[in-house]
Amino acid sequence: MSKVIDTTLVPQYFQRFPVRVHKDEPVVGQGSNAALKTFERLVPEKDTRSHAIGPFGDAYAICYPEGKTEKVKLAAEIIEALWMYDDIIEALPQEEAALEHDTVKQLLGGDGQSAPGKKNLMTSIFRDAAARMIALDPKGAPWVIDTVKQYLTEYDGNDKVYEDIEEYATFRTLNVGFRIMSSFMQWTLDIYLDEEETEITKEFYAASGRVMALTNDYWSWEMEKKESVDREAGIRNAIPVVMKQFSLNEKAAKLFVKGLTVEAEENMWKLGLALKETGSDKIKNYVDSMLLLLGGSGFWSSTAPRYNEVQK
């Protein structure tokens, strides 16, 4: 049984989602730590920052508090590797990044021999990821692996400079990695929606992705604005989009994005409650687990050193 985290102890956490931590949090932390250690060994010249460390526990133990322990541990290792990989990829020109993504997609497809083997040895961390997932869950693993490959295709799908917050938010919902986080959530709990269930939950799913996109942008901005990105589009974040679109200063733009996040959460809650009133037990579990995922993601972002040390 997971444990409740008292979010009132963190005044800056402004969302209403429930937040819990996995009963085997130390075990889950072994997974994300393994990814960190592998990157430090393979890419020692890079300053690798953890996406999992926080004062209330491992990020993935908070995002997937009810998941099966071994699945959550492996999910933590794979997702942490993907996020650290993204940190490095973001600094590359788009065309070079696309080639790296092709390498990883081949590795995830089990084609380790014919993968291009680009200069960044970090891609080797993904070589056995698919096989390990399939060993735990032959039925569900292929679906999640396809989801990760789709994300890698979409992530650098364009280098467009966005000047409209609604257009940007639609893009960012795909780019932020929500598809990965939500699919691993389902995988850790064995929640597999059929075609009809997917259709009736699609509006809730889209609303959930918008919440994660805006929340991540809000909390990561102080860190991201100091980073160098070799892309025409620059930093992918809602705050500079709002600054430009509405001629706002940075402080006002942050408040604007915070308001958009609260509005998006309200819409997600409404859609989720409606689904729980009419849906099956599987749908109810799906909605409750998505709420925990969004709560875990937002709460971790509001407290983690990765985003908050720069604001002290």
What is the total count of domains within the chain? 1
Q: Rounded to whole angstroms, how far apart are CA atoms 136 and 133?
A: 5
Residue 139 lies in a domain: yes
Q: Rounded to whole angstroms, how far apart are CA atoms 179 and 185?
A: 10
- First and final C-alpha spacing in the chain: 35
Please report which confidence band the pLDDT of residue 115 belongs to, taking 50, 70 and 90 as the band edges. very low
Short-list 161, 100, 156, 160, CA closest to 125: 100
User: What is the pLDDT at residue 47?
Assistant: 65
Longest dimension (CA), the chain: 53
Here the CATH number for the domain that contains residue 265 is 1.10.600.10
The arithmetic mean of pLDDT across residues 125-147, rounded, is 89
Residue 281 lies in a domain: yes
The arithmetic mean of pLDDT across residues 293-298, rounded, is 98
Over residues 94-110, the pLDDT tens digits come to 555 555 656 666 666 65
The residues near 181 (Cβ < 8 Å, ≥ 6 apart) are 63, 79, 212, 293, 297
Over residues 154-185, the pLDDT tens digits come to 765 566 889 999 999 998 887 788 999 999 99
Q: Rounded to whole angstroms, how far apart are CA atoms 73 and 171?
A: 29
Short-list 132, 136, 7, CA closest to 77: 132
Residue 312 lies in a domain: no
Q: What residue numbers bound the domain in which 102 lies?
A: 3-307
Residue 75 lies in a domain: yes
Measured CA distances, 5 to 61, 218, 220 (Å): 12, 22, 22
Q: Rounded to whole angstroms, how far apart are CA atoms 49 and 39?
A: 10
Residue 26 lies in a domain: yes
Residue 13 lies in a domain: yes
State the alpha helices, DSSP H only, in 43-138.
Answer: 59-63, 69-89, 94-108, 129-136
Residue 237: CB atoms within 10 Å: 21
The residues near 280 (Cβ < 8 Å, ≥ 6 apart) are 197
Helix, coil or strand: residue 31 = helix
Q: Which of the pair, 109 or 196, is modelled with greater confidence?
A: 196
Please report which confidence band the pLDDT of residue 304 belongs to, taking 50, 70 and 90 as the band edges. very high
The percentage of residues in the chain with a pLDDT greater than 90, rounded to a whole number, is 62
Residue 157 lies in a domain: yes
Give the mean pLDDT of the chain: 86
Residue whose structure tokens are 């860190």: 223
Q: How far is CA 80 from the centre of its chain?
A: 9
Over residues 230-287, the pLDDT tens digits come to 455 567 899 999 999 999 999 999 999 999 999 999 999 999 999 999 879 999 999 9
The residues near 71 (Cβ < 8 Å, ≥ 6 apart) are 136, 137, 187, 188
Strands (E) across the chain are located at: 3-4, 20-21
